[in-house]
Chains A and B, each alone.
Chain A
């Protein structure tokens, strides 16, 4: 069973993603800030992460989390999908530079997200 880590400060979004993915058979983990995300990712080594960028209550944002994970050979293989409200070209560029694998802008279509996740994990 594949493991997916959902990282978002807003419980509504975490719930939305969980509900979206629940019809497939994944193990779902979640974190509400960057620090938690790093800790869980390193411990659990999920197959895929859905990562928000702007998250209050932690010392690192999503971009930094991505950079750190991609810089670490142990965690480099985690497929990271950015799921963020920062939809401008400049934001995307930042994500790509940080090494994200896919960039989804909020608001998103749950069906699209599900298709993407299934495609990545199959």
Chain B
């Protein structure tokens, strides 16, 4: 069926290759009769050409050709396209087996001997063409099949690729999911770590967290910038960087707000900033691009630290030179951890502030000279500042648990409690651990709970012993001053009495001249006395204000001054005898003769006053190593030890109230001040009821001693 269908519609072409013309014609005739088309070729070369041109169904090839012989021609035909399925039948003249073998080796498929048996040839041609057709069909089928296979293979490959892609996508998704879960776990772990974190561990823990996040997200740097205290810049506070990543440069440690309006503006509005590629930042963000570009960063995420609606810094993750694509869901996680950082830092800050306050208060109470004591509502001490050791000589420990009023002087306890309750302040004496007594001032303050109940009391206690002493001294001084004024007034009134009284009498009455003259003299004398008292008062006031009195020193012979003074008194003290005892040689001193004379007169006057019954008054001049000593000795009433103690104090008069010896009480004070001004010393020795010796010294003037100097 195949043969028929193959044969019927086609006229098969047969290529006849023979250099013998008659045989070619004969074969054409014969073959055309059988319905084949015939193409002739005279040589091997022509055969190759014709074969290519006509694609014959079969080739009849004479082996005996001139030029290219039959074998070569056969071989070359076989090599042509379709050559291998086109049967080549060789014609051989003789029954030459060797040639036939050679022809088969050259690719011939059959042979026909000359002279040609046409029946045989016809059959062979028919069969060979059928074979060829079958071969062609087979070849087509095979090609078709191969095409199919190829197509299916391609389809399979494509499907396979698609599948692989899908697998890849799935794997990526799985990876992403796994990464997300891992990241979530990491964030959870870090968050857990930050719960109840100790303030001292915050820095360490944040650094650790930054490193974990950095390692996990495979960035170059994770950093936290915090808003500086003056709120004008951001400061790099925490930083982690991957191995091999460059650190932020020193210039990158601070980001002034003004310099980065774009970034900080966004962050301060609590916006996350995701910079996918620094180089593609808008021109508004030129500063930021330069900033991050300087450290070779490409992709940056910055998440604001916000606590209680206050922007306090930002967390940045920075990819380094490689661009990084961030999974969408990592930003919320980063936001979460950022919130935890913000929280933690804020808590530490407020905690630190509290701690600082407490520390400050403690330092203040520690350094205070005042003592701060806190008590329970019942008045039991539960806090005492360390200064209680210096002030009260009690350690804080020994005071705690004791009643606040425990060591108050028994005489003051009641009044002190009453004052504290009434005025919140009291001054009282306190018995120290060592038994000594000090004056304290306590200010109290009630500590009230929010509901108004008493929570305790705070006392600020101050040592006012010195103040009390000063107050006492001031009080004494004031009393002395009052005494002085009344004494001075008294002393002034006495001469004034005579002056006023006698002058009035002289005015009112007519007296005989002798009496009138006598009263005028008395007025005159008393006026003189008045003048003396006023001089004394001025003296003491000038001597008190040291420096207002200048000594007019000259080299004087002290003995002369003594003798002059004695001469003055000898007249007016008839009951006393004066004796001057002087060391010979060394009576020259440098002194103000008027002032020293004043001292002498004061001392002699005292000696007279205080020996009212009379007696000997001795004036002894002694030369010591470098001083000249003067002694004025009387046999008077003497001084008690108490009086001796106060005798040189200003305004003091030995028993002024009872032993009515008049005077200003300033003579000795003036004398002692004058001697002091000369660089000398004054003192006394006295026996009650037996007499008193006043001494004073003056420094010897080496050049004034009269000794030769070289």
Enumerate chain A interface residues (CB-CB to B < 8 A): 9-10, 12-13, 15-16, 19-20, 23, 54-58, 61, 85-88, 91, 105-111
Is B662 touching A56 in the complex (CB atoms < 8 A)? Answer: yes
Enumerate chain B interface residues (CB-CB to A < 8 A): 486, 489-491, 493-494, 496-502, 504-505, 508-509, 519, 522, 526, 612, 657-662
A1 vs chain B, min Cβ distance (A): 22
Is A85 touching B494 in the complex (CB atoms < 8 A)? Answer: yes
- Tell me which of B489, B502, B661 contacts A87 (CB under 8 A): B489
Is B502 touching A111 in the complex (CB atoms < 8 A)? Answer: no
Instruction: State A58–B661 Cα separation when bound (angstroms).
Output: 10
- Tell me which of A9, A57, A61, A107 contacts B497 (CB under 8 A): A107
Is B489 touching A57 in the complex (CB atoms < 8 A)? Answer: no
Is B502 touching A88 in the complex (CB atoms < 8 A)? Answer: no
Is B660 touching A106 in the complex (CB atoms < 8 A)? Answer: no
B511 vs chain A, min Cβ distance (A): 9
Instruction: State A88–B482 Cα separation when bound (angstroms).
Output: 11
Is B660 touching A9 in the complex (CB atoms < 8 A)? Answer: yes
Instruction: State A88–B497 Cα separation when bound (angstroms).
Output: 16
Instruction: State A16–B508 Cα separation when bound (angstroms).
Output: 14
Instruction: State A108–B505 Cα separation when bound (angstroms).
Output: 12
Is A107 touching B493 in the complex (CB atoms < 8 A)? Answer: yes
19 A/B residue pairs, CB under 8 Å, sorted by A: A10-B494, A10-B498, A13-B497, A13-B498, A19-B519, A23-B509, A54-B490, A56-B660, A56-B661, A58-B660, A85-B490, A85-B493, A85-B494, A86-B486, A87-B493, A106-B493, A109-B500, A110-B501, A110-B508
Chain A, residue nearest B518 (CB)? A15
A54 surroundings in chain B (CB, below 8 A)? 490, 660, 662
Is A111 touching B494 in the complex (CB atoms < 8 A)? Answer: no
Is A108 touching B497 in the complex (CB atoms < 8 A)? Answer: yes
Instruction: State A86–B498 Cα separation when bound (angstroms).
Output: 15
Instruction: Assess A106 versus B486: contact at CB under 8 Å? Given A61-B660, A111-B504.
Output: no
B663 vs chain A, min Cβ distance (A): 10
Instruction: State A55–B486 Cα separation when bound (angstroms).
Output: 16
A19 surroundings in chain B (CB, below 8 A)? 502, 505, 519
Is A109 touching B660 in the complex (CB atoms < 8 A)? Answer: no
Instruction: State A10–B496 Cα separation when bound (angstroms).
Output: 13
Most buried by A among B494, B501, B508, B509: B501
Instruction: Assess A16 versus B498: contact at CB under 8 Å? Given A56-B661, A111-B508.
Output: yes
Chain A, residue nearest B658 (CB)? A61
- Tell me which of B500, B508, B522, B659 contacts A107 (CB under 8 A): B500
Instruction: State A15–B515 Cα separation when bound (angstroms).
Output: 12
Instruction: Assess A55 versus B660: contact at CB under 8 Å? Given A85-B494, A106-B496.
Output: yes
Is B499 touching A107 in the complex (CB atoms < 8 A)? Answer: yes
- Tell me which of A23, A55, A108 contacts B501 (CB under 8 A): A108
Is B522 touching A20 in the complex (CB atoms < 8 A)? Answer: no
Instruction: State A72–B541 Cα separation when bound (angstroms).
Output: 47
Chain A, residue nearest B490 (CB)? A85
Chain B, residue nearest A91 (CB)? B486
Instruction: State A87–B661 Cα separation when bound (angstroms).
Output: 18
A53 vs chain B, min Cβ distance (A): 8
Query: Which 9 pairs of residues, A with B, have the shortest CB-CB distance?
Result: A85-B493, A107-B500, A106-B497, A107-B497, A56-B660, A16-B501, A107-B496, A85-B490, A12-B498
A52 vs chain B, min Cβ distance (A): 9
Chain A, residue nearest B486 (CB)? A88
Instruction: State A114–B657 Cα separation when bound (angstroms).
Output: 30
- Tell me which of A56, A86, A111 contacts B659 (CB under 8 A): A56
Is A106 touching B494 in the complex (CB atoms < 8 A)? Answer: yes
Instruction: Assess A107 versus B661: contact at CB under 8 Å? Given A57-B612, A88-B486.
Output: no
Instruction: Assess A105 versus B486: contact at CB under 8 Å? Given A16-B501, A57-B612.
Output: no
A94 vs chain B, min Cβ distance (A): 11
Instruction: State A14–B246 Cα separation when bound (angstroms).
Output: 116
Chain A, residue nearest B493 (CB)? A85
Is A108 touching B490 in the complex (CB atoms < 8 A)? Answer: no
Instruction: State A58–B509 Cα separation when bound (angstroms).
Output: 35
Is B662 touching A108 in the complex (CB atoms < 8 A)? Answer: no
Instruction: State A28–B42 Cα separation when bound (angstroms).
Output: 212
Is A86 touching B662 in the complex (CB atoms < 8 A)? Answer: no
Is B489 touching A85 in the complex (CB atoms < 8 A)? Answer: yes
Instruction: Assess A12 versus B526: contact at CB under 8 Å? Given A88-B486, A110-B508, A111-B508.
Output: yes
Instruction: State A87–B488 Cα separation when bound (angstroms).
Output: 12
Instruction: State A12–B658 Cα separation when bound (angstroms).
Output: 22
- Tell me which of A23, A56, A105, A107 contacts B612 (CB under 8 A): A56
A10 surroundings in chain B (CB, below 8 A)? 494, 498
- Tell me which of A15, A85, A88, A110 contacts B504 (CB under 8 A): A110
Instruction: State A105–B493 Cα separation when bound (angstroms).
Output: 9
Known: A16-B505, A58-B660. 11 other contacts (CB 8 A): A10-B498, A13-B497, A13-B498, A20-B501, A54-B490, A56-B662, A87-B489, A106-B493, A106-B497, A107-B493, A107-B497
Instruction: State A86–B659 Cα separation when bound (angstroms).
Output: 16
Instruction: State A15–B518 Cα separation when bound (angstroms).
Output: 11
B494 surroundings in chain A (CB, below 8 A)? 10, 85, 106
- Tell me which of A13, A58, A105, A110 contacts B505 (CB under 8 A): A110
Is B496 touching A12 in the complex (CB atoms < 8 A)? Answer: no
Instruction: State A87–B487 Cα separation when bound (angstroms).
Output: 11
Instruction: Assess A12 versus B522: contact at CB under 8 Å? Given A109-B504, A110-B505.
Output: yes
B148 vs chain A, min Cβ distance (A): 148
Chain B, residue nearest A12 (CB)? B498
B509 surroundings in chain A (CB, below 8 A)? 23
Instruction: State A20–B511 Cα separation when bound (angstroms).
Output: 12
Is B500 touching A85 in the complex (CB atoms < 8 A)? Answer: no
A91 surroundings in chain B (CB, below 8 A)? 486
Instruction: State A48–B90 Cα separation when bound (angstroms).
Output: 205
Chain A, residue nearest B529 (CB)? A12
A86 surroundings in chain B (CB, below 8 A)? 486, 490
